[in-house]
Amino acid sequence: MGRDGPRETDLYPPVKAYLEAMGFEVKGEVASADVVAMRPGEDPVVVELKTGFSLALFHQGVERQAVTDWVYLAVPRLTGRRFQTALRSNIALCRRLGLGLLTVRLRDGLCEPHLDPAPYRPRKNAARKGRLIREFARRVGDPNTGGSRGPVMTAYRQDALRCLAMVAAAPTKASVVAAETGVVTARRIMSDDHYGWFERVERGVYAASPKGRDALEGRV
């Protein structure tokens, strides 16, 4: 290990020993690949070495997939919660890219496999897909600029604003608000009062709060 930290060459002996233990013949720096391992009658295994997770490492791994499906990335195994968090995230990324992942514990040369290369078959989340489609369908117009990081105008907020505009004129029954605005969930929106815009005057009757009037005037 170098004085300023691990080097890529520090990873090579443990990775080579790990592959040789599985019957591979291993050579370093073959046709731009850091590590190449071969067994008779099988596709080559390629391992790219880096001293830490980086975009360059993933780029190299994806480039090697033009040669073989058996591509691994290898990095030093560090200690601490920060590395464990990074490891979990990068295992997930490797899975999506069809790459394998190895870590090397440099103090004793332990090479540990975390993931083997395999085609990525994402599992769709039907509930999340349904929420996305419903939000798209309910939202009126296109009130947000894609890529912005400010408050988002959701369909729920649009419904609440329609209710607010009506009760700001005069206290109104929730059933009337629902009928006039077409917001079928008007009673629940005003009762839940997620934004603090509504005041219940009496049972089933709502008016605009001071904060609600500010919202209508664009001050919140």
Residue 220: predicted pLDDT: 58
* Cα–Cα distance measured from residue 90 to residue 183, given in angstroms and rounded to the nearest whole number: 44
Please list the pLDDT of the chain residue by residue as tens digits (220 residues): 545 668 888 999 999 999 999 999 999 888 888 999 999 999 999 999 999 999 999 999 999 999 999 999 999 998 889 999 999 999 999 999 999 999 999 888 899 999 999 887 777 789 988 988 889 899 999 888 887 778 889 999 999 999 999 999 999 999 999 999 999 999 999 999 999 999 999 999 999 999 999 999 875 5
- Asked whether residue 26 falls in the same domain as residue 105, the answer is yes
101 near 76, Cβ under 8 Å?
Answer: no
How many domains does the structure of the chain reveal? 2
pLDDT at residue 121, as a whole number = 75
Last residue of a domain, one of 63, 88, 115: 115
| DSSP at 48 | E
Helix (H) or strand (E) holding 12: helix 8-20
Which residue range is the domain that position 29 belongs to? 8-115
CA–CA separation, 162 and 135 (whole Å): 17
Which pLDDT value is given to residue 172?
96
Q: How far apart are CA 216 and CA 70, in angstroms?
A: 59
Tell me if the pTM is above 0.85.
no
For residue 1, what pLDDT is reported? 52
CATH code, 213: 1.10.10.10
Written as one letter, the residue type at 17 is A
pLDDT of residue 183: 95
